[in-house]
Structure 1
Amino acid sequence: MDRFLPRLGVILAAALLTACQANPGPPPVVDENDRSTTPTNSSTTAPPPEAAPEEDLLPERSTVAIGVDPLRGGLNPHLVANNSELVNQIAELVLPSAFHGSEMDTDVLESAEEIEAPGSIAMRVRYTIAGPAQWSDGTPISGSDFNYLWSQITRTPGAKDVAGYRAITAVRTSGNGRVVTVDFAHRVEDWQKLFANLVPSHLLEDRDFASALADGIPASAGRYLVAGMDRGRGIITLNRNDRFWGEDPANIDVIQLRAVRDTAQAVNMLRSHQIGFADITPQQTTLENLSLLSNVNTGVVTRQRQLRLNMSAVEGAFDEQAQRRALASLLDTDQLARLATGRASELKPGNNPFDSHAELAPLRERAGRKPVRIAVDPQYPTALAAATTIVDVLQAKAIDAEVVTERLTTITSDLLPAGKVDAVVAWDENGEDALSLANYFVCATPTRPAATLSGYCPENSADTALGILSGDVDSATAQDRVEHLNREEALFVPLLNEVRIHALGKGIVGPGQSIEDWDSGLISAPQWRKDDD
């Protein structure tokens, strides 16, 4: 009977390992005063090596694969340079947020409330972080993560959602890092939308925020973690975060995000069951091709995101309104949308608000002194095609112009502020909430960059921003003010509104049977189960 004991030990060890993964314990407590590595057992005899588990006794990890657009930039969701559906959805799975919409995340926070503020403080909000909340390396989520995000967004060129954070004057931490008190210079009605997608400050504080998440996210506090990025093969691997402490942990162990570069690849991968779901940018025949596949349900999804030509109003660029208006008047957004995407189906061109008969003399005069320079990040093919087409339009009118290809982080941090380029083609969230609309009225200071790519500072900007953020100006009125500002000053031209294709094949049981139930895409991944039928 003794010969069965080693095998029994292996079985018990494997069972214990599985139990630990399904029920993570509390985060480890590190005593900063005791970093000794001295063993507690004084014996010098090394313990016998553990028996290697037999492969057939290890639990098989459930794995699914889905098709996504190729990752163009990094994974920092707070940067204009990384503005994409894929990055935003990965962030939702991996990074913790104080609120999701208007709902507090009870896994992350015990409470969040506006409290009485002393006379010199316009508004004060107090967050209490849930005791078990931790990063995947065991470090507790703390006020340092709140403070870090605030400080980085307000001082990093090309950061998103700046207006609400610029209203903050202090972020203080107490209660062993679990209590976060945030003071505001003026009222922010939608304060619940702040502190979404917190990042692990303890791993990033010595790194440049603009590039810190260029090749991954080093720790997770969501239901999944980024386990690997293989840009050459076009695969991002998400593993279930077994240190996730909250309710409803993810069901599937591994999700492979596989880059789909064209329609033929999407069709082949769905047909052969290499992927069970796809969330991709369409080409001309994508929907038609996918509709021919049996057992594949397809749907068209529109997003708020918008490709824009943002014209720089800083000194040395298009600092005269007439120059910007002349350029805008030359753009046929229907044509630009078709040529930039290479398709006429599943297409929503932007609406150019500018008259097509504007006087071109100011633009010609400026181009005679130095060429019009349109900047674009070459990693984004649709934006690059749009920028190239705009230059072609200008040159066809005998207006000297050229494309400047550079990483968007460099464009926002160097080229735009210094007036080295006149405009940039990039994706914009096109948000309609108060925090997004207030950005148009937040101006640059000697220590803080502008909140928009145009760099334009409107008259009475501070009062307008305050009114929008405080809720005194409702969202419809705020939207009207932004549109009026753009019509008057010609700051941006909407070129293209984002349209996506969802295709559900076999292998995944998700949020529902209808393709409409999958509108949220990858965000619903924690609900998925593997279908082995």
Structure 2
Amino acid sequence: MTRSGGTRTAAILFAAAGALSACTNSGPLPLVPSTPGMSIVPEETLNEVVVGVDDVKGSYNPHTIAGQSTITTALTSLLLPSVFRTAPDGTPRLDTTLMVSAEVIKTEPYTVSYTVRQDASWTDTAPIAAEDFVYLWQRMRGETGVVDPAGYRLISNIASRDGGKTVEVTFDKPYPGWRSLFGNLLPAHLLKDQPGGWASALADSFPATGGPFQVKTLDQPRGEIVLERSDRYWEQATALDRVVLRRASHEGVVNALRDRDDQAALIRADAIALNTVADLAKTTPLVSKPVPRPEVVQVLLRPASPQLVDLKVRQAVLAALDRDALIAVGTGNGPAAKLRADSQVVAPSRPGYVPTIPPGVGVLDLATSARLLGEAGYVRPDGGVWSRDGKPLNLVIAAPEGAEPYGTVAAQVQRQLALAGIRAKVISPPANQLFEQDLTGSPNGEQTTTVDLTVIPQVDTGDSAATLASSFGCRPSVEDGSTPIPANVAGFCDQTLQPTIDAALSGRTLLAEALTKIEPTLWQQAIALPLFQVADLLVVLPEAQGADVGAPFAGPLSGAASWRREGG
């Protein structure tokens, strides 16, 4: 190597070290000691798989409703540690790459003991330990806009032993769904004192990781994320050197597959994309499969809104909606079109799903809508807009900014209401603002803005009883005078249903039995109109050996640690 070449190499290494140190507030990461005889693999010979995706934008916090996306599921499955992971049959399975054991050790009080492997650590060498359990518990029970917090709200205490590697979690009540907790642990030592705290956690980066891969580059403007094998991972090393997630239009993804620049793709396909992939399959060997996501698109009619506090008005708005048309627009007749959500709680692809939608719900009925609005005191002179006391019924429909299919469905809801004489406008606030402020209000339950309807996901984290309690349960009472726990985003509470919801959450009543009592009331109360479960399309070329749909709701990238690149 020439003197000038050595200088350039040193400069590159210095710049790389500086970039690593900028990723965390705790200073530069310790360098990995060199291994005698180990050589750096040239870029052109890297064993990698490139996956085409719709987008790579954040945020990437899997515990917030705002963070839900295909890319978040993909990244967190490879970068964050979880106590349990979903098995191929959909049941939770202890992740022995992180855990030694997890078991109920006492029933009174209900206590679960977790033992974390001694060698499990974050990429900055900090141990994965009790601190991470405590941080996630505290944030999930106290923050707004989080996913399925009901199980975490049952925890009364977390104790640490053995240097933080033994974690004892005590619950106020028995909780048979405890295996759904403590997935995707976060590095508490870096986040707990970070400016912005939870609100900015994983907004655009991962300050430390604890999985088989780590982030090499995360470039949202260019639309590319490069994950490389983590040298600090304590378990078996991945077969691939790296996985690249690359943003492109559907046409661009298909062209990249045709040219073998991509070896796989994971996209939210509509009918056009399905046909394009089918045409590609005529000349290129590939496998394509639908991949249901843990999201059900729903229209929430919020009784927390002054304009929709009247049940007759909510029922009138519901009667003005054509559910079939909303599903057709939202799915684009892609894979999700076969996943109609005809239940309030359980997702269509989940075991135990039973359709409960009553006849006539979601069927356009303008006569019924007009009758109900009239009974609520509204008038519609000369076929204009409905009004009461001289004020038009003017609804605000919210959908998270830049999130599909939610924006498209919200626009269709607006058009349908306009045809029924109900004035409405669509707003698209940033997702964090919508879920953490606009739909939850202040900690005391006061609304900070008026959102009447919203098109958002209901997220499935593996425990349908927790989904029920988190989506439709009342605010837990606070006896010690501390800050009340935020309510659900619908602002709905029916004290007559709460005992049954509590019984399902604690296991005193089977969920199926509880739902037979609760779902008819939820439909009658016109709170939520579920539409369909979101589904992506996975396309795999022969070069991406081992790539498949993955365990339910875990996503195809969850198995990338065992993928191999063959030929190509």
Give the TM-score range, shorter chain: 0.7 to 0.9
The answer to whether the aligner puts 1:83 opposite 2:68 as a matched pair is yes
Tell me if structure 2 keeps the 8 A contact 1:311–1:491. yes
Cα distance 1:139–1:54, how it changes in 2: closer, same or farther (>3 A)?
Answer: closer
Aligned partner of 2:278 in structure 1 is 291
Please state if 1:423 is matched with 2:453.
yes
2:304 and 2:42 map into 1 onto residues whose CA distance is 65
- How far does residue 322 in structure 1 lie from its aligned partner after superposition? 1.9
* Letter aligned with residue 212 of structure 2: R
- What amino acid sits opposite 2:530 in the alignment? P
CA–CA distance in structure 1, aligned partners of residues 41 and 433 of structure 2: 51
- Which of 238, 261, 273 is 2:227 aligned to? 238
User: 1:192: which partner in 2?
Assistant: 179
Of 280, 289, 298, the match for 1:308: 298
The answer as to 2:246 corresponding to 1:258 is yes
1:438 aligns with 2:427: no
Give structure 2 stretches of 5+ with no counterpart. Answer: 1-5, 7-26, 28-37, 87-91, 343-356, 379-385, 442-446, 477-481
Q: Who is 1:327 aligned against?
A: 317
Q: Which residue of 1 aligns with 2:522?
A: 486
Aligned to 1:530: 565
Alignment correspondent of 1:92 = 77
Q: Deviations over 1:104-146 (max 9, x none)?
A: 11221222121236xxx53111112110010011100111100
> Which deviations, in whole Å up to 9, do the C-alpha atoms of 1:205-248 show, x marking residues without a partner?
124313211101111111112332211221112121111112x3
Secondary structure class of the residue paired with 1:414:
helix
Instruction: Check conservation: 1:375, 1:403, Cα contact below 8 A.
Output: yes
* Alpha-carbon distance in structure 1 between the residues aligned to 2:334 and 2:256: 24
Residue 464 of structure 2 aligns with an amino acid whose one-letter code is: D
Distance 1:442 1:344, change over 3 A: closer
- Structure 2 counterpart of 1:221: 210
Q: Secondary structure at the match of 2:295?
A: strand
Relative to structure 1, the CA distance from residue 256 to residue 408 in structure 2 (aligned partners, 3 Å threshold; closer, same or farther) is: same
Alignment check: 8 A CA contact 1:187 1:466 kept: no
Matched-pair contact (CA < 8 Å) for 1:301–1:519: no
> How many angstroms does 1:450 deviate by?
4.1
SS of the equivalent of 1:225 reads strand
Q: Which amino acid aligns with 2:249?
A: R
- Partners of 2:118 and 2:165 lie apart in 1 by 7
Partner residue, 1:212: 201
Matched residue of 2:104: which SS?
A: strand
Structure 1 residue 65, shift from structure 2 partner: 0.5
- Write the distance in 2 (CA, Å) between the matches of 1:330 and 1:485: 20
Aligned residue pair count: 478
Q: Report which of the two structures shows the higher radius of gyration computed on alpha carbons.
A: 1
Q: Does 1:473 align with 2:515?
A: no
What do the CA deviations read for 1:439-473 (whole angstroms, capped 9, x no partner)?
24532357344453212112145522331122222
More divergent stretch after superposition (431-440 vs 379-388): 431-440
- Decide which moves more: 130-139 or 410-419: 410-419
Identity over aligned pairs, percent = 28
1:67 match? 52
1:110 counterpart SS class: strand
Secondary structure at the counterpart of residue 126 of structure 2 = coil
Alignment of 1:269-280 (within 5 A): 269-280=256-267
* Mapped partners of 1:410, 1:425: distance in 2: 15
Q: Are residues 432 and 257 of structure 1, via their aligned partners in 2, closer, same or farther at CA, if it must alter by over 3 Å? A: same
How high is the TM-score relative to the length of structure 1? Answer: 0.82
Query: Residue by residue, what CA displacement relative to the aligned partner does 1:411-439 show, whole Å, maximum 9, x if unpaired?
Result: 12222231511121112225663222232
State the Cα distance separating 1:339 from its structure 2 match. Answer: 2.6
CA contact (8 A) 1:218 1:226 kept: no
Question: Paired residue for 1:408?
Answer: 431
Partners in 1 of 2:289 and 2:117 — Cα distance?
A: 39
Closer, same or farther: CA 344–178 of 1 in aligned 2, 3 Å:
closer
Give the letter aligned to residue 396 of structure 1: L
* Aligned residue in 2 for 1:161: 148
1:378 partner amino acid: E
The two structures have a TM-score, normalised by structure 2, of 0.77
Q: Please point out which of 519, 522, 532 is paired with 1:496.
A: 532
* Deviation for aligned residue 1:188: 0.2
Give the Cα separation in 1 of the matches to 2:397 and 2:122.
Answer: 41
**More displaced, 477-486 or 139-148?**
477-486
Q: Please show how residues 19-98 of structure 1 align to structure 2 within 5 Å.
A: 60-98=45-83
The equivalent of 2:10 in structure 1 is none
The alpha-carbon deviation at position 167 of structure 1 amounts to: 0.5
Aligned to 1:50: none
- Structure 1: give runs of 5+ residues left out of the alignment: 1-9, 11-34, 36-52
Letter in 1 for 2:323: T
Aligned-partner residue type, residue 309 of structure 2: D
Q: Is the 8 A contact 2:51 2:264 kept in 1?
A: yes
- Corresponding residue SS for 2:197: coil
Q: CA deviation at 1:69?
A: 2.4
How many Å separate the matches in 1 of 2:126 and 2:567?
A: 36
1:464 maps onto 2:487 in alignment: no
Residue 409 of structure 2: aligned partner: 386
What are the superposed Cα offsets for residues 354-386 of structure 1, whole Å, 9 maximum, x if unpaired? 263342334745793562001111211321111
Distance 1:476 1:493 in 2: 20
Alignment check: 8 A CA contact 1:444 1:455 kept: no
Deviation of 1:508 after TM superposition, in Å, equals 1.7
The one of 360, 370, 376 aligned to 2:373: 360
Cα shift readout 1:471-503 (whole Å, capped 9, x = no counterpart):
222132233344223212111111232232111
